[in-house]
Structure 1
Amino acid sequence: MSAPLHIQGLGAGYRDRAILQGLDLAPLPAGQVVSLVGPNGAGKSTLLRAVAGLIPASGSARLGDVELNALSIGERARHVAYMPQTLPQDVALTVLETVIAALEASPLDGPPRGAAEAAMAVLERVGAAELAGRRLDRLSGGQRQIAALAQAMARQPRVLLLDEPTSALDLRHQLEVLTLARDYARERAAVVVMVLHDLQAAARASDHVVVLAQGRLRVEGPPAQAITPQVLADVWRVRARVEPCARGQLQVMVDAVL
């Protein structure tokens, strides 16, 4: 069952430091990819962690009629999966074992296959079948990101949260991950929310872009409305040109620091 994600009056932070304060977003529809962009410290990762239930949050994060903030971590894990920026480097389990663990942590009423077979199917989907037998602590940063994506997708969540999923990847794998995110949203009628720093990638891969600065919403909407020279000047303090290429994709060219 597909349902939009509603963020209303959301507040979150760390210890005595508030990062997000009363954040309201337009409903994020199922079947779409949403990119969170903004300067360092804008609250992008904090927003993902709050929706995932990894840090205390006030206000409402609601998936359809389900108030996520009222659920236990285990209950929320049946709806939401979070991919961190990096996986721990000291985990001696194989990639296959970590994906199986993700499946078993949140059992699904899904296809009657064994956990190992289901885990291998996900690894094949993300192009990482050759990593199945390798230990996580012996992978490169980019390989660990792909393994983390497999863990998150394995649970077939209705909300998939990706924190800088392309930061350690080369160009080909960046495109593959963004394509996987878009396909997952469409095929599963899921809400995919990802943090990106590359504005061109955000424009290319997203249906909706949310620009945050200092824990507050600055602008949101389709890429062409949210990524403009004026927004780059106001939020990032740079002079830039935003122009469509021959194929209609937005290109961002930064000329100077303001």
Structure 2
Amino acid sequence: MTDNPEHPEAAEHEAEADAKEPRPEKVAVVTEVKERMSEAEAVILTEYRGLSVKELQSLRASLTEAGAVYKVYKNTLVRRAADELDWDLADLLVGPTAMAFVASDVGSAAKALTEFAKGQPLLVLKGGVMGGDVLDDQAVKALADLPSGPEIYSKLAAGINGTARGLAAGIHGTHRSLAYVLQAAIDGGVFADDVAATAEPTTEAAPAADAPEAPADDATPDTNTEAPAADAAESTEES
């Protein structure tokens, strides 16, 4: 892999030659670039013109720590790979281009690039691609404000723990509420018929003859004549 040609005429001539008869080694590079693009969480394109070999090595080391791979490919081959993925990178593939393929921690990779660019303005952030969407340079810089992987995991763990505590409290509260409902039903005699149906014969109600009879001369309404039956039920429960 070599640097991109700096003269547009040379790039066009090479593109025409590749279009006529793609060489196997270039086809292999296009396949490699396409695979890296499709597997990456994000791809950040930069211009590295003027950076020394030592500076590029330092930048690569920083990106490796952030979980990214920094590669240099010819623009013509990158464009071909991007076209196969329906990525329109024509505006970004101008001048020498190096790409950071980010595996997962996009925030850390973008931060590594922006921090390096602050100390070495020769590194220019062109833009990138994330989730199939093409980003401009400002969007890439905004990615640097994303929390790092450890910060995300910490917040996620805190959220999970909080959810678990809330779920446990909800379950405990549900059990407690259910107990209150059952107790209220028992106290209200909702299950009295079921208990009477399953009770032993020894717990049957006393004969009606044992219940006191209402006085014969009692001329009160029907509601009073039912009182002895209620007394019988009470005596049954007490027995």
Which one scores higher on RCO, CA 8 angstroms, separation ≥ 6?
1
TM-score (norm 1): 0.21
Question: If each structure's strand is expressed as a fraction of its own residues, which one has the higher value?
Answer: 1
TM-score (norm 2): 0.23
Pair member with larger Rg: 2
